[in-house]
Amino acid sequence: MHSVVLSPGSPLLCDSLSVFVYHDLDGGALVREQPIFTTRAHVFQIDPSTKKNWVPASKQAVTVSYFYDVTRNSYRIISVDGAKVIINSTITPNMTFTKTSQKFGQWADSRANTVFGLGFSSEQQLTKFAEKFQEVKEAARLARDKSQEKTETSSNHSQASSVNGTDDEKASHVGPADTHLKSENDKLKIALTQSAANVKKWEVELQTLRESNARLTAALQESAASVEQWKRQLSLCREENDRLRNKIDELEEQCSEINREKERNTQLKQRIEQLESKVREKETELNDLRKQSEIIPQLMSECEYVSEKLEAAERDNQNLEGKVRSLKTDIEESKYRQRHLKVELKSFLEVLDAKIDGLHDFRRGLSKLGADS
């Protein structure tokens, strides 16, 4: 019986894939372990302290392969980063590969007392790896069932041989046969003891797997609860963000309206200043017209005086016909000057009336503009 060790430090190349070789203690190669499926992924391990967070086992994507051991009829997942073996997990029927996202999957290894996680570059790679895991798991289950059937058959055969040997011993009492049967019986007892020990070992492993599965289930539930909480928080943040954006749009619209109102007020102020300047000009003109209108009574008095003189002259003309001829020229000149003054007075009054009417219209327009503002 050979003692076998694994030497991953010296892989051989076979079709661009690593081939792991078993050696006995004397250094002789016994069997090769061939890869049956290979992919690349980022490798993670669960944090042993928290059992929640993932710890990167590789700095970049590395080769991850399924290996089949022909001698032991077992399957393993192996990944090597340089000279360091980061995954060496024997697949058992009790293992389960779980997809936790579109590009990430994990499984628990009770023998290594850890949980391995793989991050793939695409969902297709993850699906292929999960399908191969299921195939290998089913093959491991069939191999275990066949091994158990062989063990049970061998045990039953040994027990029957032992009983028959005892009967033959009682019947024939043959010495060499008795020795041979005892030896066979001892071997069977040792095999049964080893089988019982293996059964206990498998029970311990099964219990460990159950505990690991329970921890994984609790971790997945906590992770799912955290994801739901994060989704709710993200939804609330998005709603708050949308509300703030709407508020910002409303404030920007209000600021634009305020700016437009300011521009309109500025234009109105400029218009009012222009109108006030025109009003001051019109008031100046009105004052000038008022000053000119103050001369009108004097002119009227002069007209009355001239009329009186004319009447006196006419009376004197009746009385003093002789003076008429001498004063005729003076009278004609006086009449001409009177007519000329009347014409100028009439024009001046017409201009004054037009100015006054225009000023009244302007004041009414200014009052209406002030009321509209």
- 236-253 pLDDT tens trace: 888 888 889 898 988 988
Higher per-residue pLDDT: 220 or 101: 101
Considering only 33-47, 101-115, 212-226, which range has the smallest mean pLDDT? Answer: 212-226
Distance CA 345, CA 352 (A): 10
The pLDDT value recorded for residue 63 is 93
Distance CA 187, CA 168 (A): 19
- For residues 78 and 67, the answer to whether their CB atoms sit within 8 Å is yes
Give the structural domain span for 48.
Answer: 35-146
| Residue 293 maps to a domain | no
Burial class of residue 116 in the structure, from the number of CB atoms within 10 Å of its CB (0-12 exposed, 13-18 middle, 19+ buried): buried
| Residue 209 maps to a domain | no
- Could you tell me the pLDDT band of residue 10, with boundaries at 50, 70 and 90? very low
**Average pLDDT of the chain to the nearest whole number:** 79
| Residue 325 maps to a domain | no
Higher per-residue pLDDT: 127 or 303: 127
CATH at residue 54 = 2.30.29.30
Name the domain count of the chain: 1
| Residue 120 maps to a domain | yes
The pLDDT value recorded for residue 117 is 94
Instruction: Give the pLDDT mean for 180-189.
Output: 70
The pLDDT value recorded for residue 4 is 34
Distance CA 327, CA 267 (A): 70
Percent residues over pLDDT 70 in the chain: 80
pTM of the model: 0.38
| Residue 224 maps to a domain | no
| Residue 58 maps to a domain | yes
The pLDDT value recorded for residue 179 is 72
- Could you tell me the pLDDT band of residue 78, with boundaries at 50, 70 and 90? very high
pLDDT at 166 over 80: no
Both tokens of 93, joined, read 């029927």
3-state secondary structure the chain: CCCEEECCCCCEEECCEEEEEEEECCCCEEEEEEEEEEEEEEEEEECCCCCCCEEECCCCCEEEEEEEECCCCEEEEEEEECCEEEEEEECCCCCCCEECCCCEEEEEECCCCEEEEEECCCHHHHHHHHHHHHHHHHHHHHHHHHHHHHHHHHHHHHHHHHHHHHHHHHHHCCHHHHHHHHHHHHHHHHHHHHHHHHHHHHHHHHHHHHHHHHHHHHHHHHHHHHHHHHHHHHHHHHHHHHHHHHHHHHHHHHHHHHHHHHHHHHHHHHHHHHHHHHHHHHHHHHHHHHHHHCCHHHHHHHHHHHHHHHHHHHHHHHHCHHHHHHHHHHHHHHHHHHHHHHHHHHHHHHHHHHHHHHHHHHHHHHHHHHHHC
Q: Which residues pair with 55 in a beta bridge?
A: 45
- Could you tell me the pLDDT band of residue 210, with boundaries at 50, 70 and 90? confident
| Residue 89 maps to a domain | yes
| Residue 335 maps to a domain | no
- Could you tell me the pLDDT band of residue 131, with boundaries at 50, 70 and 90? very high
